[in-house]
């Protein structure tokens, strides 16, 4: 008897996949099995940038002798393909940021009346960083200038993107030395497309340097713009309790899934879903209420700010339809499988596209317009409510969820280490110096149906915290940890090593912190910068005992993120195979040369145990270079006492209470 292949480590997802198979339906899991990747394209050896090809650069001595019709060598082809992917990832995050910037502008001028400025403090701080006067100006006046400044950064042609100066000084110097400071977001993306056009840049090293430059226009610009603006408009996250699982769908309520990436319309849906008229309408149609559920990065946005439950990441989207309980799946841009519209034909679910950039055949289109945002949100909700009566009893229904605490903005991480009056990164730095916390790892990125869903996220998260490594997580990686139930102080304390456990217990946080969506990887850059500025752990991000990992990646956006972390000085490991596997020269540049120049490197390691080993070794090497106490489990040096939550609350009782854990 052949052994059963597990598709997902998410038990609820696995049950639905089994139900799907037994009903003759299919999802990405089955399609991935049937559709093997082309090994030539998969390894970066296929050139299809002109119509003399596609040329396949294969053969026993391909690295040295294979050429395309034009004479392009394998390293050139491979590097060119890679640069295009990074540019596409940067474009996606940054175009999302551009929409956010226009929403901020129109909120400030009153043209988008449903939007207000929720975090004036963050707006004023950001204005200060980019040199916009604040004084006694109104928040709208400041917001208008901030938005216009950010919008100008997309089309800036010369000089340096202004947010670059938020990085540690030493890092900025490294970037200047190697000529990778981005000038303007759009300029770097356009130039990457030009360079990779037929017959332009023929030097793999130069092409890969350009990949780092365009990626910095993502991390320290596009993504960072988006995170900051979203916080200003909708509030900077603080911890919220919620639930995670596709099992969050309710039998007696109208289930509306908000899926995609840009949070503006989803925010409006959250607000409007609480209006008495809408709730009455749902009751008239026989439902007890409206159950909002997030998916992918939109889930992370509304989970971080409102505690809306997440149905999970990328691979759960088709499964949401298969429950037979989703009245509507509202989508905008990025990571939306066309397969959901096909699946929906067999169920009652309505797939609603809302962005003209992301139209889909067989979907209902209700175009989002920020000038009448709430009206659009009501229209989507009414469509879902009207669809409730069409629900049949078909579908795979498992009602099981895991508790999660999410909402760790860098501002909150700072606050939780000392309260309003003593907010700093000192306690974390001290804990690392003393060996209580061995280091920090970011576990981020996608799911990929070629890897058992969540299995590597799961394994690594558990192992790192067991080894006293603090984990920060975003994107579908965070959804994986949330669904597994690792993002609560209670459950995770059972698994954390003794040092990390003590630190987390003192502060009252989980050892795996949910930092948000994929654009919120910029929060990790900010946390790293604050740790450097706090002192004691070197004077650059490359000195920190920290590693970034995307174990189940699939998106071009993940590559852009990986590259900007490398350029920022971080050792980055991607799971699965390398998209440049075909060229040893390209792999050498991404590891040896990038490490020498930037202090960070990019490795692709399919074996999870090897990922863990390499990451821990890298952390220990950084500790050694910093001359920190050698990490030994359960044995720590002395450090400043961490203030417990209870002590801090006492100290602050006279002051306004911070929102805190809800």
Interface residue list for ligand NFS (CB under 6 A) = 261, 296-297, 313-314, 334-335, 445-446, 475-476, 518, 555, 557-558
Give the residue among 632, 630, 530, 528 at the shortest CA–CA distance from 572: 528
d(CA 392, CA 381): 19
Measured at the alpha carbon of residue 304, what is the angle toward residues 301 and 305, in degrees to the nearest 5?
90
Tokens of 495: 């698994």
SS3 of residue 315 by DSSP = helix
Residue with tokens 């949330």: 482
Cβ burial, residue 210 (10 Å; 0-12/13-18/19+) = buried
> Cβ(385)–Cβ(350) under 8 Å?
no
Polymer length in residues for the chain: 662
Residue listed under structure tokens 């950039």? 357
- Taking the complex as a whole, the smallest distance from the CB of residue 562 to ligand NFS amounts, in Å, to 12
- Judged by beta carbon, residue 446 or residue 563, the one nearer ligand NFS is 446
DSSP alpha helices (H): ranges in 110-182?
Answer: 120-129, 139-155, 169-177
Which residue has 């019709």 as its token pair? Answer: 69
CA–CA separation, 518 and 442 (whole Å): 12
CA distance 390 to 380: 16
Please, which residue, 119 or 556, has the CB nearer to ligand NFS?
Answer: 556
Nearer to ligand NFS, 93 or 348 (CB): 93
d(CA 639, CA 525): 25
* DSSP bridge partners of 368: none
Count of alpha carbons within 13 Å of 278, Cβ hemisphere only?
25
CB 110 → ligand NFS: shortest distance, Å? 31
Positive or negative, the CA dihedral 225, 226, 231, 233 is positive
Nearer to ligand NFS, 145 or 262 (CB): 262
The CB-of-406 to ligand NFS minimum distance in angstroms stands at 15
Closer Cβ to ligand NFS, 301 or 639, answer by number:
301
Q: Which is nearer to ligand NFS, 335 or 343 (CB)?
A: 335
Nearer to ligand NFS by Cβ, of 287 and 572: the residue is 572
Q: What is the largest CA-CA distance in the chain?
A: 76
Beta bridge partner(s), residue 548:
442, 572
- Residue with smaller CB distance to ligand NFS, 530 or 557: 557
* Least distance to ligand NFS, CB of residue 537, Å: 28
How far apart are CB 334 and ligand NFS at their closest, in Å?
6
For residue 266, the minimal CB distance to ligand NFS (Å) is: 13
Rounded distance, CA 482 to CA 244, Å?
6
- Smaller CB separation from ligand NFS, 218 or 540: 218
Both tokens assigned to 603? 């490795």
Residue 260 or 395: the one with the smaller Cβ distance to ligand NFS is 260
Beta carbon nearer to ligand NFS, 445 or 608 = 445
Backbone angles phi, psi at 514, to 5 degrees: -85, 110
Q: How far is the CB of 301 from ligand NFS (least distance, A)?
A: 10
3-state secondary structure of 31: helix
CB 546 to ligand NFS: min, Å: 20
Strands 402-406 and 240-244: antiparallel
CB of 446 to ligand NFS, least distance (A): 3
Complex with ligand NFS: residue 231 or 520, whichever CB lies closer: 520
Q: 371: exposed, middle or buried (C-beta count within 10 Å: 0-12, 13-18, 19+)?
A: exposed
- 440 bridge partner residues: 470, 546
Residues 6+ away with beta carbon under 8 Å from 51? none
Smallest separation, CB 317 to ligand NFS (Å):
9
Place of tokens 């991390």: 219
Spatial CA neighbour of 280 closest among 388, 390, 385: 385
Q: Which C-beta is closer to ligand NFS: that of 80 or that of 261?
A: 261
Strand locations in 128-186, DSSP E?
Answer: none
CB of 644 to ligand NFS, least distance (A): 34
Tokens of 525: 């850059």
Using the minimum distance from each CB to ligand NFS, give the nearer residue, 529 or 555.
555
Give me the least distance between CB of 572 and ligand NFS, in Å please. Answer: 15
- N-term to C-term CA, the chain: 50
DSSP-assigned beta bridge partners for residue 471: 441, 512
CB of 482 to ligand NFS, least distance (A): 13
Nearest distance from C-beta of residue 331 to ligand NFS, angstroms: 11
């Amino acid at each position: 008897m052949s052994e059963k292949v597990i598709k997902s480590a998410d038990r609820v997802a696995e049950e639905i996949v089994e139900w799907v198979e037994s009903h003759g339906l299919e999802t990405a899991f089955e399609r991935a099995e049937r559709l093997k990747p082309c090994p030539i394209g998969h390894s970066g050896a296929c050139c299809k940038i002109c119509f003399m090809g596609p040329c396949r650069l294969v053969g026993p001595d391909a690295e040295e002798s294979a050429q395309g019709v034009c004479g392009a060598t394998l390293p050139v082809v491979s590097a060119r393909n890679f640069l295009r992917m990074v540019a596409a990832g940067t474009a996606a995050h940054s175009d999302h940021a551009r929409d956010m910037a226009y929403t901020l502008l129109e909120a400030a001028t009153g043209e988008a009346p449903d939007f207000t400025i929720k975090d004036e403090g963050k707006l004023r701080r950001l204005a200060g960083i980019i040199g916009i006067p604040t004084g006694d100006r109104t928040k709208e006046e400041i917001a208008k200038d901030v938005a216009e400044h950010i919008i100008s950064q997309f089309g800036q042609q010369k000089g340096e993107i202004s947010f670059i100066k938020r990085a540690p000084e030493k890092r900025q110097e490294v970037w200047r030395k190697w000529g990778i400071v981005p000038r303007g977001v759009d300029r770097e993306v356009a130039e990457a497309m030009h360079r990779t056009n037929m017959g332009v840049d023929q030097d793999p090293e130069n092409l890969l340097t350009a990949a780092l430059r365009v990626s910095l226009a993502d991390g320290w610009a596009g993504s960072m713009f988006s995170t900051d603006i979203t916080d200003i408009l909708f509030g900077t996250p603080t911890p919220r309790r919620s639930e995670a699982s596709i099992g969050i769908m309710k039998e007696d309520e109208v289930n509306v899934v908000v899926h995609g990436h840009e949070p503006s319309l989803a925010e409006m849906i959250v607000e409007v879903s609480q209006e008495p008229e809408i709730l009455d309408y749902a009751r008239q149609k026989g439902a007890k209420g409206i159950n909002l559920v997030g998916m992918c990065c939109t889930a992370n946005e509304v989970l971080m700010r409102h505690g809306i439950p997440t149905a999970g990441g990328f691979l759960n989207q088709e499964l949401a339809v298969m429950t037979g309980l989703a009245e509507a799946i509202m989508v905008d841009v990025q990571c939306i499988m066309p397969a959901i519209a096909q699946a929906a034909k067999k169920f009652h679910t309505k797939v609603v596209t809302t962005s003209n950039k992301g139209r889909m055949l067989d979907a209902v289109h209700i175009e989002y317009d920020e000038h009448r945002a709430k009206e659009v949100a009501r229209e989507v909700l009414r469509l879902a409510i009207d669809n409730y009566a069409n629900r049949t009893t078909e579908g795979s229904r498992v009602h099981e969820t895991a508790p999660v605490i999410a909402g760790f903005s860098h501002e909150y991480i700072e606050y939780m280490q000392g309260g309003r009056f003593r907010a700093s990164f000192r306690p974390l730095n001290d804990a690392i110096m003393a060996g209580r916390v061995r280091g920090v790892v970011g576990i981020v990125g996608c799911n990929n149906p070629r890897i058992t869903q969540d299995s590597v996220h799961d394994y690594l998260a558990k192992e790192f915290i067991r080894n006293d490594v603090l984990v920060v997580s975003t994107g579908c990686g965070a959804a994986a940890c949330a669904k597994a139930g690792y993002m609560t102080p209670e459950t995770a304390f059972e698994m954390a090593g003794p040092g990390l456990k003590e630190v987390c217990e003192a502060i009252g946080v989980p050892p795996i912190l949910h930092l948000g969506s994929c654009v919120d990887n910029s929060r990790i850059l900010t946390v790293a910068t604050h740790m450097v500025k706090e002192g004691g752990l070197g004077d650059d991000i490359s000195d920190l005992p920290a590693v970034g990992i995307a174990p189940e990646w699939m998106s071009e956006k993940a590559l852009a993120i990986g590259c900007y972390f490398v350029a920022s000085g971080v050792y980055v490991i991607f799971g699965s195979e390398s998209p440049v596997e075909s060229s040893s020269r390209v792999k050498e540049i991404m590891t040896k040369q990038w490490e020498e120049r930037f202090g960070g490197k990019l490795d692709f390691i399919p074996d999870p145990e090897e990922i863990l080993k390499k990451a821990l070794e890298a952390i220990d090497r950084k500790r050694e270079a910093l001359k920190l106490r050698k990490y030994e489990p359960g044995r720590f040096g002395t450090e400043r006492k961490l203030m417990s939550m209870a002590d801090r609350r006492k100290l602050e009782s006279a002051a306004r209470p911070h929102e805190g854990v809800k």
